[in-house]
Structure 1
């Protein structure tokens, strides 16, 4: 991949400039992701996502974690 390349987000198909050659200036650096969030996203998409979709996927991960935690709580209280 060149230093700067116009790519399309595999999630929303929006064109954006990927700056893999200068990653600290890339639009994806706007969104801070944990390793778990990165893994969650990588299980659903290949390649770079736009910052907007990264933020959306981050939120989806948090919602999924919350849902799973609630399920654990309800399962524990149902066993009592």
Structure 2
């Protein structure tokens, strides 16, 4: 991870982005204090993981979650009362 000044980042933004595409990370500093990071955008692997988690969540929602208590009566049982 390289540290660069805000001025250098401003002057060399295109070159910094090209290096980030190759996997480099930058910490941008203003007056010696870190204020930002320039890092590569997550690859499709992260997207695949997100899709897997979303699928699992949807399956849980389809099954429902037990809330305890009595079983809810069916529509027919409600009308028999």
Q: TM range, normalised to the smaller chain?
A: 0.3 to 0.5
Bigger relative contact order, structure 1 or 2 (CA pairs below 8 A, ≥6 apart): 1
TM-score of the superposed pair, with normalisation by structure 2: 0.33
Higher strand share: 2
Largest Rg, 1 or 2: 2
